[in-house]
């Protein structure tokens, strides 16, 4: 534990500290790069193909590392200095878009080149995100985690979804070089911000163990913890459904022949509605959690996200979908603040990287499967039928809420 975390008092309202705010600023820059990059990729891809399966393939490539590499990333986060892992991950992500620009300028640009870059950026993302969630209890006191996570989600979502998408759409309109040079520069600056954080963020290890043993220990902890296991499965279903929907949303929204008929720039602006909602959610999540209780808050989030995913099945009007996306973004953050803070509080620090990665194997490993399903269902049944299926699938998660009573959650939330 760093000196800042050790000295913080337990009121939950103590200052979050300089190290936290450096982490916060770096996270904002890194997520702005993500937001630009992830909107630029599909907008470039639809210039090469109109196939729902091939477009969805980009989401598959970007999220596949969570299925293949997450457990290794977690073990590394518990073995190595978490801050240094985040630095190297961002440096790697800075290089990859630059290589893509070079390939395009040399005439080697193709859909397959986009797949390769999406996949390798995704590998770096597994290292960065696993380390980022695991480092937080070393930076702030555990009683401050809901507030600290709320502030982080605020800057991450407003940069990733509010500023990033319209900026990405504008940069694509200006040219490929601008669209991919910007995220490369932002990831580089974000790495520099992390270097400024002082202290060691390597966890203590009593015995030498193999990587396989470390991974198994994290998996067993998650398997044996009913609350965390249930939340991981539920988040996996959330992400399956949302990945299916958003993998092909660009086909539903962009172009004169699409149901919504938006331009690339307008599509980026449309996506900011959920980002604004997410920002509002990051501010109010701690208070909503305290007012409604965690169980009721999670129930509300399920209903809201089901509408968020399924609404394009019933309307293509952006003025109707916009408010729905706003509420959906707000409730997604509420879910994340509650579940991530709970996981960070009840997991021993020396296991947190591995438990985070095991959790995300279930919770995020479903994303490439969802993107694949979304592309196939959209191809076979049509876009709106696919949105309806995913909305109903999300709503079915209400059947697991009897496991997540306030009494059960409170019993699990024991301060280490």
Q: What domains can be seen in the chain, in order of their start residue?
A: 18-197 (1.20.1250.20), 214-412 (1.20.1250.20)
- Neighbour count for residue 373 (Cβ, 10 Å): 21
According to DSSP, residue 141 is labeled: -
- Contact indicator for 255, 261 with CB cutoff of 8 Å: yes
Complete DSSP assignment for 228-297 = HHHHHHHHHHHHHHHHHHHHSHHHHHBSTTSSS-B-HHHHHHHHHHHHHHHHHHHHHHHHHHHHH-HHHH
Residues 401, 286: Cα–Cα separation, whole Å: 20
Q: What is the pLDDT of residues 96-109, one digit of tens each?
A: 888 887 877 777 76
- Contact indicator for 175, 347 with CB cutoff of 8 Å: no
Q: Identify the residue whose tokens are 């932002």.
A: 186
pLDDT tens across the length of the chain (416 residues): 343 443 334 344 677 888 999 999 999 999 999 888 888 888 877 777 777 778 777 878 887 888 888 889 989 998 889 999 999 999 999 998 888 878 777 777 678 888 888 899 999 999 998 898 889 888 888 778 878 888 887 788 778 767 887 788 788 778 778 888 899 999 999 999 999 998 888 887 777 788 888 889 889 999 999 999 999 999 999 999 998 998 888 888 888 878 898 887 788 778 778 878 888 888 888 889 889 999 999 999 999 999 999 999 999 998 999 999 999 989 998 998 899 888 988 888 888 888 988 888 888 778 888 888 998 999 899 899 999 999 999 999 999 999 999 999 988 875 44
Question: What pLDDT is recorded for position 114?
Answer: 86
Residues 330, 336: Cα–Cα separation, whole Å: 10
Question: What pLDDT is recorded for position 257?
Answer: 78
Determine what percent of the chain is predicted with pLDDT higher than 90. Answer: 34
Residues 185, 171: Cα–Cα separation, whole Å: 14
Residues 68, 66: Cα–Cα separation, whole Å: 6
Q: What is the pLDDT of residues 314-330, one digit of tens each?
A: 999 989 999 999 999 89
According to DSSP, residue 163 is labeled: I
The pair of structure tokens assigned to 374 is 């979304």
Question: What pLDDT is recorded for position 32?
Answer: 92
Question: What pLDDT is recorded for position 414?
Answer: 59
């Amino acid at each position: 534990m760093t000196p800042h975390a050790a000295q913080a008092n337990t009121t939950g309202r103590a200052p979050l500290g300089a190290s936290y705010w450096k982490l916060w600023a770096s996270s904002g820059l890194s997520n702005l790069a993500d937001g630009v990059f992830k909107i630029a990729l599909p907008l470039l891809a639809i210039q090469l193909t109109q196939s729902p399966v091939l477009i969805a393939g980009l989401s598959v490539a970007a999220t596949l590392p969570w299925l293949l590499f997450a457990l290794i990333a977690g073990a590394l986060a518990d073995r190595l200095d978490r801050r240094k892992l985040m630095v190297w991950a961002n440096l790697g992500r800075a290089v990859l878009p630059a290589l893509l620009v070079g390939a395009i300028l040399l005439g080697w640009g193709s859909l397959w080149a986009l797949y390769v870059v999406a996949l390798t950026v995704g590998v770096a993302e597994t290292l960065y995100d696993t380390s980022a969630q695991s480092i937080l209890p070393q930076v702030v006191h555990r009683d401050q985690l809901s507030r600290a996570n709320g502030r982080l989600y605020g800057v991450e979502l407003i940069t990733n979804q509010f500023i990033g998408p319209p900026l990405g759409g504008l940069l694509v309109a200006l040219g490929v070089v601008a669209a991919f040079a910007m995220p490369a520069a932002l990831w580089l600056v974000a790495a520099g911000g992390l270097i400024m954080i002082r202290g060691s963020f390597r966890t203590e290890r009593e015995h030498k163990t193999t990587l396989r043993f470390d991974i198994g220990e994290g998996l067993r902890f998650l398997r044996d913890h009913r609350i965390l296991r249930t939340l991981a499965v539920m988040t996996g279903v959330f992400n399956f459904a949302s990945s299916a929907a958003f993998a092909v949303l660009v086909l539903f929204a962009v172009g004169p022949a699409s149901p919504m008929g938006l331009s690339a720039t307008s599509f980026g602006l449309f996506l900011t509605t959920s980002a604004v909602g997410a920002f509002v959610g990051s501010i109010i999540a701690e208070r909503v959690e305290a007012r409604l209780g965690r169980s009721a808050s999670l129930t509300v989030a399920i209903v809201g996200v089901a509408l968020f995913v399924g609404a394009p099945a019933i309307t293509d009007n952006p003025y109707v979908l916009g408010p729905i996306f706003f509420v959906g973004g707000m409730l997604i953050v509420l879910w994340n603040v509650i579940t991530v803070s709970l996981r960070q509080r009840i997991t021993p620090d020396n296991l947190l990287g591995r438990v985070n990665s095991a959790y995300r194997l279930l919770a995020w490993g479903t994303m490439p499967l969802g993107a694949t399903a979304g592309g196939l269902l959209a191809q076979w049944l049509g876009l709106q039928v696919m949105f309806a299926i995913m909305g109903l699938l999300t709503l079915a998660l209400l059947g697991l809420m009897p496991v997540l009573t306030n009494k059960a959650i409170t019993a699990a939330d024991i301060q280490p």
